[in-house]
Homo-oligomer: A and B are copies of this chain.
Amino acid sequence: MKTMKIIITAGGISEKIDGVRKITNSGTGRLGSLTAEELVRRGGDRIEKIYYVCAPGSAVPRADAEVIPVQGAEEANTVLERLLTRENIGAVIHSMAVSDYAVDRVTTAENLAGFLADRLSSADRQEFRSTRALAEFLLECINRNDRLLDRSRKVSSELDHMLLMMRRTPKLIGLVKALRPSAVLVGFKLLKGVDRQTLLNAGHEVMKKNSCDLVLANDQTEISGDRHVGYLLSPDGSFERYETKAEISAGIAGRVLSLLEKRERQ
């Protein structure tokens, strides 16, 4: 087998609200760091390099890896894009918990109400023949509201009705096959408090949507301390069930290495 470079993303990424507040995703980086260690242990010389892209403060592997801390989904996106384009990446294990939403704008209910009232007052009332037309007008106004608070410092602690208007962050996983179709891709799906079938279905949906080679589906309620139940799904619908982070990381590392070998033989 030729030597190869692997990207592991890990940890819970934060998104800034203002100068001192942020939104974080649950995620310690422990599973990602264990997977890096397993890959090095099993892959030996075949692993040329591991890029470990993580949230600041995440667990990092006790193995040779280039640790790249990133602030926010948009920075993670930039780093992944650069690595996938410039480096010969054989596999991506995307265990990072990325905020699906970043804070777009910060306002108050008072500011928003004032803005909407001004827009309604100056609009031609005849336009709103139906409640639906009115709702569409209001939606556009809500999304254009420009009476915002300054987020570069710390937003006042004294507001009665602060509103955070969120935008979706880029889906990092979508980059992998778009930029490097040959790479082995392991996706992750975390839900909370759902039954097993719902979890497996959601995992398969992630797999299909992003052309993953494997998906680890897990439920927050089944993760505590050393216990970590995870289902490693294959495209054919089969899966392995694991009960600890050690089992999961060994399972992922083993499967990724054998997929890489198989690809090379083809």
Q: Contact residues of A with B, CB < 8 Å? A: 14, 17, 19-26, 97, 99-101, 109-110, 112-114, 116-118, 120-121, 131-132, 134-136, 138-139, 142-143, 152-154, 157-168, 190-194, 220
A154 and B113 form a contact (CB under 8 A): no
B99 and A117 form a contact (CB under 8 A): no
* Cβ–Cβ < 8 Å partners of A20 in chain B: 25-26, 97, 190, 192, 220
* Cβ–Cβ < 8 Å partners of A220 in chain B: 19-20, 154
A-B contact pairs, 20 of them (CB 8 A): A20-B25, A21-B99, A23-B23, A24-B24, A100-B157, A101-B159, A109-B143, A112-B138, A113-B139, A113-B142, A116-B116, A116-B138, A117-B132, A117-B134, A120-B120, A143-B161, A153-B191, A153-B192, A160-B168, A163-B163
Cα distance, A12 to B142, chains bound together (Å): 32
* Cβ–Cβ < 8 Å partners of A194 in chain B: 153
B165 and A163 form a contact (CB under 8 A): yes
A22 and B17 form a contact (CB under 8 A): no
List the number of copies, as a whole number: 2
Given A112-B142, A113-B136, A152-B193, A25 and B21 contact (CB-CB distance below 8 Å): yes
4 tightest A-B CB contacts, nearest first: A117-B135, A19-B192, A113-B139, A100-B157
A191 and B154 form a contact (CB under 8 A): yes
> Across the two chains, which residue of chain B brings its CB closest to A117?
B135
* Cβ–Cβ < 8 Å partners of A97 in chain B: 20
* Cβ–Cβ < 8 Å partners of A164 in chain B: 163-164, 166
> Across the two chains, which residue of chain B brings its CB closest to A115?
B135
Cα distance, A46 to B131, chains bound together (Å): 70
> Across the two chains, which residue of chain B brings its CB closest to A138?
B113
Q: Which of B136, B154, B159 touches A192 (beta carbons < 8 Å)?
A: B154
Cα distance, A23 to B114, chains bound together (Å): 27
B24 and A139 form a contact (CB under 8 A): no
Cα distance, A138 to B141, chains bound together (Å): 13
Q: Tell me the smallest distance from the CB of A71 to a CB of chain B, in Å.
A: 13
Cα distance, A47 to B138, chains bound together (Å): 60
> Across the two chains, which residue of chain B brings its CB closest to A98?
B157
Cα distance, A192 to B18, chains bound together (Å): 10
Q: Tell me the smallest distance from the CB of A199 to a CB of chain B, in Å.
A: 12
